[in-house]
Amino acid sequence: MPRVYNFSAGPAVLPEEVLSQAAAEMLDYHGCGMSVMEMSHRSPVFQGILDEAEADLRQLMGVPDDYAALFLQGGDSLLFSTVFMNLAKNGKADYVVSGNWSKKAFEQAQILGDPKLLASSEDGNFSYVPDVSSLDVRDDASFVYICQNETITGTRYPELPDTKGHVLVADQSSMFLSEPVDVGSYGLIHAGVQKNVGPAGVQVVIVRRDLIAEDLAEVPTMLRLKTHADAGSLYDTPNCWGIYVCGLVFKWLLALGGLAEMEKINRSKATLLYDYLDASGLFSSTVAPRDRSLMNVPFVTGDAELDRRFVAEAAEEGLVNLKGHRLVGGMRASIYNAMPEEGVRALVEFMDRFEKGVR
Ligand code: PMP
């Protein structure tokens, strides 16, 4: 079976070169006579893999020295709570809810303390990003929280909010390493890697070191960022295999020319699809033009039966996982870093054929 074009929202497509390299190194990693899956996380060989992954990530993102870069576990959803417990010591943090993931983060904060909802686009089924140019941030808010790219509804912040000098925290899961970001503009960035960067089971946290609390007696040890920062992501057994594959993807990105180059490719892919959608008489984008994600592209025909037929016929052409999330319906094409431009081209060509067939 040839490889398909996989438009899954995550776990998602990975670079073929990376998969081939992981396969080639499976039985014998660099003369160790074993795979990375089988070696001790305390071994010098794995320490080398971890150190190199962190160094490459820092180079790719330009992570300043006063930020820690951590590889954690537990799911990105756990970070909704972890971030609040570590950074909102007074129990106060302010949230912008632009989609289902920032809504979930806000809900976790409601369990743990006294978050404020600054703005929401739920009234428009999260089809746009709320205006964040003049937010009423509380003076004593510990941070302002956003999900910079909402995976389900396909929005991306056109610009970062004015936090009025407060720390900005961003969930970047579905846009992680898809474009350059100025790490210094954030207090903390968190991302599950299973969209753009690696296999499920690893979360990256990039956090300004002075925000890592020293005194969190009430917080379980595993949920303290300090625990993992002090131990260099090796407090307990990490997801060794996941970190190794992320490391291979970091090298793939560096070889490509880094994140500026990646962004150019991603913009070109997204433009191809959005231009087609805007011109189509059958399909349409569900997102306000200025807020459209470069990674997750939901679209509909307006006829649920036709949507179902499209998804089924696309799959027969090797264009798979195009069914939209149940909260939006229709279709969603996730066109992450590793989706080649030919994949997006093949999708657009199929959409065009389908549209002509329907007319
Ligand atoms: N944030 C975003 C933006 C996501 O897309 C997801 C998963 N789709 C999550 C958080 C939750 O990640 P996890 O499944 O690793 O808990």
What residues pair up with 149 in beta bridges, in sequence order? 156
Mutate to test the pocket of ligand 1, among 71, 73, 80, 174 (most ligand atoms within 8 A of CB): 174
ipTM metric: 0.99
Distance 178 CA to ligand 1 centre (A): 16
Place of tokens 């396969």: 23
Q: Is 136 a catalytic residue?
A: no
Q: Which of 45, 235, 73, 250 is nearest to 36 (CA)?
A: 45
DSSP string, 49-94: HHHHHHHHHHHHHT--TTEEEEEE-S-HHHHHHHHHHHH-TTS--E
Residue 89, pLDDT score? 83
**Pocket of ligand 1, beta carbon within 6 A:** 10, 75-77, 101, 147, 151, 171, 173-174, 192
Whole-model pTM: value is 0.98
Q: Is 252 a catalytic residue?
A: no
Binding residues: 42, 101, 151, 171, 194
Distance 75 CA to ligand 1 centre (A): 7
Hey, what's the torsion of the CAs at 18, 21, 26, 32, to 10 degrees?
A: -120
Residue with CA closest to ligand 1 atom 5: 151
The rounded distance, in Å, linking the Cα atoms of 31 and 336 is 33
Long-range contacts, 32-38 (Cβ 8 Å, 24+): 36/240, 36/241, 36/244, 37/240, 37/241
Domain ranges of the chain: 16-256, 258-358
The two three-digit tokens of residue 30, written as one number: 């660099």
What residues pair up with 296 in beta bridges, in sequence order? 334
Residue 191, pLDDT score? 98
Q: Is 101 a catalytic residue?
A: yes
Q: Per CATH, the architecture of 258-358 is what?
A: Alpha-Beta Complex (3.90)
Closest ligand 1 atom, residue 99 Cα: 3
Mutate to test the pocket of ligand 1, among 8, 77, 104, 205 (most ligand atoms within 8 A of CB): 77
Residue 358, pLDDT score? 85
Binding residues for pyridoxal 5'-phosphate: 101, 151, 171, 194
The domain over range 16-256 is classified in CATH as 3.40.640.10: yes
Which of 56, 76, 94, 171 does the annotation list as catalytic? 171
Residue 67, pLDDT score? 98
Q: Please list the pLDDT of the chain residue by residue as tens digits (359 residues).
A: 789 999 999 999 999 999 999 999 999 999 999 999 999 999 999 999 999 999 999 999 999 999 999 999 999 999 999 999 999 989 999 999 999 999 999 999 999 999 999 999 999 999 999 999 999 999 999 999 999 999 999 999 999 999 999 999 999 999 999 999 999 999 999 999 999 999 999 999 999 999 999 989 999 999 999 999 999 999 999 999 999 999 999 999 999 999 999 999 999 999 999 999 999 999 999 999 999 999 999 999 999 999 999 999 999 999 999 999 998 999 999 999 999 999 999 999 999 999 999 87
Largest CA distance in the chain: 65
Closest ligand 1 atom, residue 10 Cα: 8
Residue 345, pLDDT score? 98
